[in-house]
């Protein structure tokens, strides 16, 4: 799993930060990308990455403020004009009103899409589940309805004890794969080899929490409970905490406090105000680390790789 930030600013684009968008790259897990929010010029940001828009399988919209959705019509339209393979079927998740806004915009501009879009206007609870993942949503505390998402990877197959399986007569080939995936197999002589006999216990999947704009609130903590990675806004700093609540936002310190109370492993600060210049970022990070040590600050095009229980920031 890899996270790539396409826009990390708040409210409007600045020279250093575009408006909100985050790609959860699930190439190893399912060969696709999940996008969280799609602020203005997201498709321009994508042009500077290796991301293929046709690989985007799901787009999750936290709320309907412009800095989180104004890039959506353009991205949906451009996706129709890209050559090569057929686009991955696309599902859009978001608050009530998202479907009407997208349909009206596309109809008014006579934009034709060559692929179908499925809309899911969300409420609190499980909004997606298959054999690999569960996605849960809760409404946060902002000035308009705004959601946070908890992405849970289901347990992975345990280690296959190949030598043990071979000793039981399992031939090299597809049967070993079936055993690793939890299926029992029948040998040519009629012997049944049970998966549990030749595999270790299931491995825990990762949990990523992506929070939309919000003040410090209980539901953020609930969504982030024991999460491996939490992405949380930090529109304000400790010195401007009085403004944060007035505008439905959080500070860097409040984000760190939330992550600590939730028992999360890592926190990534996102959605930073343009008031913070490059030389302010180290101070933001230092303040947050006084509360919660495992903190990163996201920049546009920051990449983070999750592997073997650790989050690493990738540098190029």
* Residues 216-239: b if buried by 16+ CB within 10 A, e if exposed: bbebbbebbeebbbbbbbbbbbbe
Map residue 197 onto helix, strand or coil: helix
Whether 67 is catalytic is yes
Cα–Cα dist 256/267, whole Å = 7
Cα–Cα dist 142/51, whole Å = 31
Q: How many CB atoms lie within 10 A of CB 85?
A: 9
Tokens standing for residue 184: 């029992």
Cα–Cα dist 270/151, whole Å = 18
- Which residues face 244 on adjacent strands? none
Annotated binding-site ranges: 63, 65, 67-68, 142, 213, 271
- How far from the centroid of its chain's Cα atoms is residue 87's Cα? 20
Tokens standing for residue 305: 């790789």
Annotated binding-site ranges for Zn(2+): 63, 65, 67-68, 142, 213, 271
Map residue 135 onto helix, strand or coil: strand
Across the chain, the runs of DSSP E, i.e. the strands, are 2-7, 21-26, 32-36, 56-60, 90-94, 117-121, 125-129, 133-139, 147-153, 185-186, 192-193, 207-211, 229-233, 266-270, 295-297, 303-307, 310-314
Measure Cα distances from 19 to 40, 132, 153 in Å: 6, 30, 28
Residue 158: closest CA among 185, 178, 182? 182
The phi, psi pair for 116, rounded to 5°, reads -85, 150
Q: Which of 37, 67, 228, 237 is catalytic?
A: 67
- Which residues face 67 on adjacent strands? none
Residues marked active site are found at 67
């Amino acid at each position: 799993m890899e996270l790539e930030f396409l826009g990390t600013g708040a409210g409007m684009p600045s020279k250093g930060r575009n408006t909100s968008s985050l790609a959860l790259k699930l190439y190893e897990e399912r060969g696709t990308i999940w996008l969280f929010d799609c602020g203005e010029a997201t498709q321009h940001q994508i042009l500077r990455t290796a991301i293929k828009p046709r690989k985007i399988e799901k787009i999750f919209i936290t709320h309907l403020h412009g800095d989180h959705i104004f890039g959506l019509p353009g991205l949906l339209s451009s996706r129709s004009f890209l050559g090569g393979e057929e686009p991955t079927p696309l599902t859009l998740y978001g608050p009530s009103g998202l479907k009407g806004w997208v349909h009206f915009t596309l109809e008014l501009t006579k934009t034709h899409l060559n692929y179908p879009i499925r809309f899911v206007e969300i409420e609190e609870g499980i909004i997606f589940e298959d054999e690999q993942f569960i996605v849960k949503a809760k409404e946060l505390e902002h000035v308009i309805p705004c959601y946070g998402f908890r992405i849970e990877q289901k347990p992975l197959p345990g280690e296959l004890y190949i030598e043990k399986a071979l000793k039981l007569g399992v031939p090299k080939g597809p049967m070993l794969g079936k055993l690793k995936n939890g299926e029992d197999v029948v040998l040519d002589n009629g012997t049944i080899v049970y998966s549990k006999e030749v595999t270790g216990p299931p491995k825990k999947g990762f949990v990523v929490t992506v929070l939309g704009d919000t003040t410090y609130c209980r539901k953020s903590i609930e969504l982030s409970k024991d999460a491996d990675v939490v992405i949380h806004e930090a529109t304000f700093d400790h010195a401007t905490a009085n403004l944060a609540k007035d505008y439905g936002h959080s500070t860097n310190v409040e984000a760190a406090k939330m992550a600590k109370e939730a028992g999360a492993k890592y926190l990534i600060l996102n959605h930073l105000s343009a008031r913070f210049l490059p030389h302010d970022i180290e101070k933001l990070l230092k303040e947050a680390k006084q509360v919660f040590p495992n903190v990163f600050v996201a920049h546009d095009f920051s990449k983070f790789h999750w592997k073997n229980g650790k989050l690493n920031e990738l540098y190029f």
